[in-house]
Amino acid sequence: MRSRIAKVHSARILFSPSESKPREGNVLAEDQIVQITPSAPGLTLPRAVSPQVVPEGAELDHPALYFNRELGWLDFNWRVLHQARDPRVPLLERVRFLAIAASNLDEFFQKRVGGLKRQEAAGVITLSRDGRQPADQLLLIRDAVLVMHRALSESWSGELKPLLRSEAGVMVSDYSELSGTQQAALRDFFRDHIYPVLTPLAVDPGHPFPFISNLSLSLAVVLRHPARDTLHFARVKVPTNTGRWLKVPESQHRFHFVPLEQVIRSSAEELFRGMELVSIHTFRFTRNADVGRGDDDEAEDLLALMSGELRERRFAPGVRLEVESDMPEQLRQLLLRELELGPEDVYESEGLLALSDCAELADLDLPKHRYTPWEPVVPEPFLHEGETEEEQNVFAIIRRGEILVHHPYDSFTASVQRLLEEAAGDPQVVAIKQTLYRTSENSPIVNALVRAAERGKQVAVLVEVSARFDEANNIGWAEVLEDAGVHVTYGVVGLKTHSKVTLIVRYEEGRPRTYCHVGTGNYHGRTARLYSDLGLLTCDREIGADLVNLFHFLTGYAPDQQYSRLVVAPREMRRTFEELIRREVEIQCEYGNGLIIAKLNALDDAGIIQELYRASQAGVRVDLIIRGHSRLRPGLPGYSENIRVRSILGRFLEHDRIFYFHNGGEPKIFIGSADWRQRNLNERVEAMVPVNNPALQRRLIGILDQAMADNRLAWELQPDGHYIQCHPAPGEPEINFQEQLMQSALERTQRGTQLWGTELS
């Protein structure tokens, strides 16, 4: 039985005072604005815009058949924010989800709003797939974010902050609420620890308006000169070295904090002795991260090009100004003028700014209010390494049969990391090649590559220096690797390398043998405990040969490289997926059992969407598990009535990509790094690997079936764009997809059952 999907309509989110009623063309009609009700397990979330009505007989490229990508992203962030309002989620985890939603919105402004503003400034009039110009989309975003911005603030001040106090004993006080003794102690702390760090910056003919760094929290200070009776402006940047939350001294509570900027505000007179303090208000400035890179084809040095882009981004134009709601209009106008922003770029807050800093509070030592700790299990094939001659090392284990690892249920450290570390020290290994898109601080993977190079092995690494927001980190790792003698390349001209692959060449019985890892996620030990990702460990000779060819393409000149098993973008991935979808249409027409199930992060490629529409029109059942945004409109009569789209959000970030084509009972299943997005199929080097082992296929199909059966973490996308939370029908058990996978991982280990296939020749 399919789960009941419950709609709950409750108290509506109100517009801010300046938006007391929807403006003409406002995308959030009053009857669509729905409060995220914490007591309701099933509900309809706000939808950023009602889509157009599909005209009768519309062609598959008609704008009404597509959701807007940017607004679809905001829909995703509503689902994240709901986790902060859901009482079934542990309290500190709710605080963490609030911080994630706020951080997501920061990134949205830097990347998506920044990109649209660049297009608008350049006079771009090209329509989005849903028929909107950049200026139109910016207006829609403005209206949608006003509601989300207020919901974030109210979620903190009206719900989570009081709950922290009443349920967890965590006090987050305003400075004005503290006792005189506590305030005096904080003033002493200010003089000793904060005052020496601050740099007040005045604005006058001798002092130009100061540089405001991206996402920094600042105080706008208005001062009066007593003798001259003149007004002056100064900016004070809130430092980050002490953290956002200062512990309140002389408190009876174990966890009692006050925001740092309020402590600075309370003692601001000490920064401007001899001046009269007129007003002081907090503000926050966001810069565009979508700066123009220039032409890769014209660049002589990609590393220098990216270093230049990082410098340019530091001084990029602004895209958002967040202010306290009681900031005087004259002061706002000064900031807008100096920061070169318009009134449409201002977002007011009744409470604290920079709620992403709540992540610090989510890390408090209060286990009762966090998820039950999960320790990834050692995959069964690796449990007995070294106990027998057949399992003497990781290479012998892989020779016994292909291994599918699913993080964070299966341990990354005990599988992928172990493979790299053993390869680094194995005298029979002669070469290691790997792509690095993102990795962690003090990365064990990088350390293993360095050790391998120091021991004389040939090590080649493609470090993608254009990975957004990780450019500086990746440039640093590239330099470390080069210093160790690793052959480092920085990407393919005109393409971003997003594939997640490792190739190890080992001499056995007088000839080289390849060992491979093809995955869906980054070689990042920390996120491997938080993101769900899949990886295939194999010594299949054809896959190994394909990876040899792929690395020759990545590090040298081989644009026409051929692959027998691997599916590589941009060369052949689009064509392969189109052929697989069309094959299901043929099977449906002949046998009536066409079926496609795909799990991915986002869907926005118009070509793939049109193929899926055609499949649905032919009667093929299409189930899509898409964590983020989808431009495809499911459930439209005559177009997509056979397509379901659901999104799963829980304690782990769903990041794996699985593509299952029923193929008349002879499944075609792939995992890899690519989503069905235009950028993945056309603008990136991506790699998908087929999974042909029947046991591993059954495991992947089981994951997809469990995802489609979930009635606790899942949301279903409606034809009008609303997402509705799934909820068990009366008498039906709750099915939590991620908890099921944790339990399955434990059972596999406890049983010690061989689930990994037969030995490869």
Which residues are known to be catalytic? 498
Q: Give the CA distances from residue 645 to residues 303, 320, 634, in Å, rounded to whole numbers and listed in that order.
A: 40, 33, 7
Residue with tokens 């006090």: 171
Token pair 């070509």: residue = 607
Residues 6+ apart with CB under 8 A from 134: 116, 117, 119, 120, 124
Q: Are strands 170-172 and 255-259 parallel, antiparallel or unpaired?
A: parallel
Strand partners of residue 508: 511
End-to-end alpha carbon distance in the chain: 44
**Amino acid type, 134:** P
- Distance set, CA 618 to CA 57, 172, 651 (Å): 16, 58, 37
Positive or negative CA dihedral for 131, 136, 138, 141? negative
3-state helix, strand and coil shares in percent for the chain, rounded to the nearest 5: 40, 20, 40
**Alpha-carbon torsion, ordered 158, 177, 106, 629, to 10 deg:** -20
Distance, CA of 592 to CA of 444 (rounded, Å): 50
Phi-psi region of 286 (alpha: psi -120 to 50; beta: other; left: phi over 0): beta
- Residue whose tokens read 């040095």: 301
What six digits make up the tokens of 648? 């799963």
Q: How far apart are CA 645 and CA 719, in angstroms?
A: 10
Longest dimension (CA), the chain: 92
Give the pairing of strands 458-463 and 487-489.
Answer: parallel
Give the pair of three-digit tokens for residue 751: 């049983």
DSSP 638: T
Find residue 247's DSSP bridge partners.
257
Query: Are the C-beta atoms of 67 and 629 separated by less than 8 Å?
Result: yes
Are the CB atoms for 138 and 113 separated by under 8 Å? yes
Instruction: Give the DSSP letter of residue 317.
Output: P
Tell me how far apart the alpha carbons of residues 295 and 713 are, in angstroms, rounded to a whole number: 43
Question: Cβ-count burial of 91 within 10 angstroms (0-12 exposed, 13-18 middle, 19+ buried)?
Answer: buried
Phi and psi dihedrals of 695, rounded to 5?
Answer: -65, -40
The answer for residues whose C-beta is within 8 angstroms of residue 510's C-beta and 6 or more apart is none
Q: Tokens 């904060």 appear where?
A: 194
CA quadruple 603, 608, 613, 616: dihedral, nearest 10: -90
- The rounded distance, in Å, linking the Cα atoms of 527 and 534 is 13
Cis omega (within 30 of 0) for bond into 570: yes
